[in-house]
């Protein structure tokens, strides 16, 4: 048992399905082209920014990635762990809708063991479903909007002082009479100057515990082997992609954001340099720098010149030769990610992207000429006007691209739009208009859908052009064709390609078997048979239509920057000793009921380690 400093606020990140270790669910390729596993264990970057902001304002905050703990240790007892925590409040992210099941289950466990401790929800999906969330007895507060740092600070002040939070912006809550109150959505900062992407905070927070509990802060199950980090350029988006809950329209209607809030470009570059003090892993710069204009992009590139780690940049649109050349002059090891979604410009336009293939290929050529180390292209299944034939033609278009750009730096991927259309997106709000049919609308319907035995049954949509079964089958077939193409061109080894082929064959067979069980067996019989198949189902759930290792950038040398972390820990230890000596000198008596800056040191089983 490790010891930990207890906190004013403990953030808990749940797996998508709480009891995934005891369920037999064929998740399919829903997470193949993101770093997470199918339980989506990567917590939102907002947990880090909120924790750092609150600590800067005098609160003690912890992050506990329960999903990672559950993946790393099959015997990890979540309920026992939660029961031993001590906090003034608990925060649970419901940012992505696939966490609807796990987030609500974790909140229920918190309330079972800490019935008088407030539970606070936040995130994009929590914002969309804030009224419905308040119908669950385990939820006390929902902070709406895309910038929860300051409203959360104000809410903690109210909880600390015993005042009703009637003036806290963006807050949905219950008053003493049990009536739900919805405070105005008035907090939408115009810049991100108040936000710091400080990975040193994670090291500092972990170091405060006697057991150095970095395992609780790990953003991904395999993060120590592949320590990828992220830098945030903005909140908001200039694009209006049809199915995206982070589109311009969704930001406006859900978060009240009428203009993008940008991180100062020099501060953004400083974030990268701070990250290089922690690891040598790649940094993903989230958002297309072009959204803020070329002056912004050039200021960032100037401040980041010479950055030593691998860098991953995004393009939401095509780019000029000059811009790409400037990126090449800034970074020696950079990857570019573009999501054209489809080979068909008409389908691409229907989805919300206007460029044609000629402009796309000109950008690809310019990026490679500028020295791009890797160029990742992401295509999608489940688009408006897209047919099964169109999906397979996309795989054939990748052959054309690899013929034209044949130096093994171009890597195409294809994956399904799964498991859900995003709430707040244009397709979700007006499905009939865009050729979609929705199976689930409410939060509770989506929570239950996540318990379905296959990803086909979890999908919350189908289109006028493809049924759910078509989406599943065309995804498997296109993934198989793309795998064979990559092996043919030397982008995959024959052994890896064969592994993918075997997993696709296994997934198809399991999908057919599960369909048969659901059609011919009673629910009890089907459940027994599914559990019998669980080992095989679990083995088919990762890297189904591609190998997840394809996403990783090469890292030279040690993954973690040990000297930098050691220097930081020594500075932090000196600060801690100095602070405790000062407290002792003034006779400070730290208790559980003191101010938020006076938190008892304790471990997760509630044992106290008083200040000495």
- Closest by CA to 141, choosing from 92, 86, 186, is 92
Residue 476 CA: distances (Å) to CA of 60, 184, 358, 461, 518? 47, 46, 28, 18, 21
Q: Given this model, what pLDDT does residue 589 score?
A: 38
CA 333 to chain centre: 24
In this structure, the dihedral spanned by the alpha carbons of residues 601, 605, 606 and 612, taken in order and rounded to 10 degrees, is -30
pLDDT at 576: 58
Q: Residue 167 carries which DSSP code?
A: T
Classified as helix, coil or strand, 33 is: coil
Match 């930990």 to its residue by tokens.
4
Q: Running along the chain, 612 residues long, what does each successive block of 10 average in pLDDT?
A: 63 98 96 93 94 94 96 96 96 98 98 97 98 98 98 97 97 96 97 82 63 77 89 96 97 95 96 89 96 97 96 97 98 97 98 97 98 97 98 97 96 96 98 98 98 98 98 98 97 96 96 96 96 94 89 78 61 59 50 39 35 28
- Domains in the chain (CATH in brackets) are 3-193 (3.40.50.2300), 227-551 (3.30.750.200)
Q: How far apart are CA 170 and CA 127, in angstroms?
A: 9
Q: Is the dihedral of CA 602, 68, 139, 79 positive or negative?
A: negative
In this prediction, residue 438 carries a pLDDT of 98
SS (H, E, C) 98-148: HHHHHHHHHHHHHHHHCCCCCEEEECHHHHHCHHHHCCCCCCCEEECCCCC
Cα(239)–Cα(317) distance, integer angstroms: 9
* Residue 540 burial class via C-beta count within 10 angstroms: exposed 0-12, middle 13-18, buried 19 and up: buried
What is the distance between the alpha carbons of residues 92 and 109, in angstroms, rounded to a whole number? 12
End-to-end CA distance of the chain: 21
Residue 290 DSSP symbol: G
CA 323 to CA 332: how far, in whole Å?
15
């Amino acid at each position: 048992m490790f010891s930990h400093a207890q906190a004013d606020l403990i953030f808990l990140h749940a797996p998508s399905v709480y009891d995934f270790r005891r369920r037999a669910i064929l998740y399919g390729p829903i997470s193949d082209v993101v770093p997470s596993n199918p339980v989506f264990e990567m917590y939102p970057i907002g947990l880090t920014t909120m924790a750092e902001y609150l600590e800067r304002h005098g609160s003690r905050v912890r992050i506990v990635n329960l999903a990672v703990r559950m993946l790393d240790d099959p015997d990890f007892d979540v309920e026992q762990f939660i029961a031993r925590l001590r906090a003034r409040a608990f925060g649970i992210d419901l940012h992505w809708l696939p966490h609807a099941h796990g987030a609500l289950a974790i909140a229920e466990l918190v309330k079972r063991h800490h019935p008088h401790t407030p539970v606070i929800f936040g995130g994009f999906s929590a914002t969309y479903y804030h009224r419905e969330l308040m119908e669950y007895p385990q939820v006390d507060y929902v902070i709406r909007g895309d910038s929860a740092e300051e409203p959360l600070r104000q809410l903690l002040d109210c909880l600390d002082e015993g005042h009703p939070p009637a003036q806290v912006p963006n807050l949905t809550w219950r008053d003493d009479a049990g009536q739900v109150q919805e405070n105005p959505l008035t907090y939408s900062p115009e810049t991100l100057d108040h936000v710091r992407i400080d990975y040193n905070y994670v090291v500092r927070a972990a170091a405060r515990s006697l057991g150095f509990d970095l395992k609780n802060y790990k953003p991904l199950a395999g993060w120590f082997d592949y320590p990828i980090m992220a830098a945030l350029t903005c909140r908001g988006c200039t694009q209006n992609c049809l199915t995206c809950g982070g589109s311009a329209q969704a930001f406006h209607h859900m978060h009240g954001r009428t203009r993008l809030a940008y991180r100062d470009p020099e501060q953004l570059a400083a974030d990268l340099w701070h990250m290089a003090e922690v690891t040598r892993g790649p940094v993903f710069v989230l958002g297309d720098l072009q959204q803020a204009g070329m002056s912004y992009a050039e200021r960032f590139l100037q401040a980041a010149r010479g950055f030593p780690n691998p860098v991953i940049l995004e393009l939401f649109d095509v780019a000029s030769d000059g811009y790409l050349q400037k990126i090449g002059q800034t970074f020696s090891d950079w990857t570019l990610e573009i999501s054209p979604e489809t080979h068909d410009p008409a389908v691409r336009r229907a989805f919300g992207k206007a460029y044609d293939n000629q402009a796309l290929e000109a950008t690809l050529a310019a990026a490679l000429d500028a020295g791009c180390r890797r160029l990742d292209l992401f295509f999608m299944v489940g688009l408006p006007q897209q047919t099964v034939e169109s999906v397979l033609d996309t795989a054939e278009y990748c052959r054309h691209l690899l013929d034209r750009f044949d130096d093994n730096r171009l890597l195409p991927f294809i994956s399904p739009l799964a498991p859900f259309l995003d709430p707040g997106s244009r397709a979700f709000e007006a499905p009939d208009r865009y050729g979609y049919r929705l199976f689930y609308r409410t939060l509770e319907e989506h929570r239950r859908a996540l318990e379905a035995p296959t990803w086909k049954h979890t999908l919350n949509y189908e289109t006028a052009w493809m049924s759910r079964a078509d989406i599943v089958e065309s995804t498997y077939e296109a993934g198989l064709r793309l795998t064979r193409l990559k092996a043919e061109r030397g982008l995959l080894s024959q052994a890896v390609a064969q592994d993918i082929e075997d997993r696709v064959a296994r997934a198809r067979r399991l999908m057919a078997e599960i369909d048969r069980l659901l059609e011919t067996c009673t629910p009890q019989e089907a459940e027994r048979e599914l559990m019998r198949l669980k080992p095989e189902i679990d083995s088919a759930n990762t890297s189904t239509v591609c190998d997840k290792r394809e996403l990783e950038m090469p890292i030279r040398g040690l993954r973690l920057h040990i000297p930098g972390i050691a220097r930081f820990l020594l500075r932090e230890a000196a600060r801690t000793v100095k602070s405790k000596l000062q407290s002792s000198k003034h006779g400070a008596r730290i208790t559980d009921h003191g101010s938020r800056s006076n938190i008892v040191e304790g471990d997760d089983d509630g044992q106290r380690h008083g200040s000495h």
